[in-house]
Amino acid sequence: MGNSVLVIAEQRDGVLKKVAFEMLGAGAGLATASGGSVEAALLGSGLDGLPDTLAQYGATKIYVADDDSLATYSSEGYTNTLADLIGKVEPAIILLGATAMGKDLAPRLAARLGVGLASDCTALEIDGGRLLSTRPIFAGKALARVKLNGDPQMASVRPNVLAAPEPDPSAVAAVEPVAAAAGQVRARVVDIVGAGAGEIDVAEADIIVTGGRGVAGPDGFVPIRDLAKTLGAAVGASRAAVDAGWIEHSHQVGQTGKTVTPNLYVACGVSGAIQHLAGMKTAKTIVAVNKDPEAPIFKLANYGIVGDLFEVVPLLEKEFQALLSE
Ligand SMILES: Cc1cc2nc3c(=O)[nH]c(=O)nc-3n(C[C@H](O)[C@H](O)[C@H](O)COP(=O)(O)OP(=O)(O)OC[C@H]3O[C@@H](n4cnc5c(N)ncnc54)[C@H](O)[C@@H]3O)c2cc1C
């Protein structure tokens, strides 16, 4: 068993997921503490240029399986290829993103390797030479600190929680092509249908405009979507709006939705319940639009507008459109 940290870097359509950079940042810290190095594994098809980006974020060596058979994600194909690679590299620690793909892949890979998995972690450290992972449990009411028996030690990491390092454009890494070993794949992806084609995922967005119960119905999301479109933003939602069936769960921000860290978060008709704040409180700039001046969201917001969102949001949209077309 070596002492390297292997980050499984996820890409979709040739674009690396942000969580890959966040894991490289955390992985570098772990590697320093354990005396190893941080490396990355990249799977897919047509991956030119991506290893350079991973090097800039700190990977010292990158294993690349670039093959048509890996063009779309398949549990078996990716597990087979990674199990093969891990057998050769023998990392001490393996990190994956707790994304839709990672949530499918990580447990399958752990089972294949016959090891444990700390899933959906929000902090990682080395304690007594072993990985110590922190993971929220019971919908975030408690934190479990997990140490795994056996090697390698595996953890999946919640996106948008750990800080990504600043990229170093001069960094270079060794790139090692590895053979795809997709093997016999019994379940094949035949089609991928994106939810709301063209929509930006809140977990990846730089700007988010969110609607809460205050939008009062599915049609209330029309001005929210208009403002989001003008700003090039993703549309977020509180759980109240999702539970009411006004918008799909993929938009939900918060403890039981997605954790987000955009530069700008515009909360409209959202009261600011603790479970909502848990998912967005680290946004750089928070703007709140609410007709109740006592709404708790104003305690966190950098800018607050007390008013009816159905008046304020279209006005904001008009102003931004004028400003951005200048
Ligand atoms: C275990 C658990 C997990 C949870 N997970 C989540 C989660 O992931 N995400 C989440 O969001 N919630 C979550 N919740 C629910 C959370 O507690 C709140 O109930 C929810 O966030 C409230 O949503 P809201 O702010 O949209 O609605 P409300 O609290 O009802 O607030 C609506 C706000 O809109 C304002 N408003 C109304 N009309 C207008 C108008 N025309 N113009 C301007 N403002 C207006 C009101 O003044 C009010 O402040 C969770 C709860 C539990 C118990």
Residue 247 DSSP code: S
Q: Which atom of ligand 1 is nearest to the CA of 212?
A: 26
Q: Which of 242, 251, 275 to mutate to test the pocket of ligand 1 (most atoms within 8 A of CB)?
A: 275
Residue 196: the pLDDT is 63
The burial class, CB within 10 Å (0-12 / 13-18 / 19+), for 142 is: exposed
Q: Residue holding tokens 């539970």?
A: 243
Closest CA to 158 of 207, 209, 110, 102: 102
Protein residue with its CA nearest to atom 53 in ligand 1:
275
Parallel, antiparallel or unpaired: strands 5-9 and 38-44: parallel
**Least confidently predicted of 1-5, 68-72, 143-147, 320-324:** 1-5
Give the tens place of pLDDT for each residue, 210-251.
999 999 999 999 999 999 999 999 999 999 999 999 999 999
Pocket flag, ligand 1, residue 290 (CB < 6 Å): yes
Residue 197: the pLDDT is 58
Give the tens place of pLDDT for each residue, 42-67.
999 999 999 999 999 999 999 999 99
Residue 167: the pLDDT is 97
Q: Which atom of ligand 1 is nearest to the CA of 241?
A: 26
11 CA → ligand 1 middle, Å: 33
| Residues 206, 212, 214, 218, CA torsion sign | positive
Give the tens place of pLDDT for each residue, 149-201.
999 999 999 998 999 999 999 999 999 999 988 777 888 788 877 666 568 89
Q: Residue holding tokens 């320093």?
A: 32
141: amino acid identity, one letter = K
- Cα separation of the two ends of the chain: 59
Q: For the whole model, what pTM was predicted?
A: 0.80
**What percentage of the chain reaches a pLDDT higher than 70?**
98
Q: Give the mean pLDDT of the chain.
A: 94
Q: Is residue 152 reached through a cis peptide bond, with omega within 30 degrees of 0 on the bond before it?
A: yes
26 CA → ligand 1 middle, Å: 33
Give the tens place of pLDDT for each residue, 254-299.
999 999 989 999 999 999 999 999 999 989 999 999 999 999 999 9
122 CA → ligand 1 middle, Å: 24
246 CA → ligand 1 middle, Å: 13
Q: Are 298 and 288 in contact (CB under 8 A)?
A: yes
Pocket flag, ligand 1, residue 310 (CB < 6 Å): yes
208 CA → ligand 1 middle, Å: 16
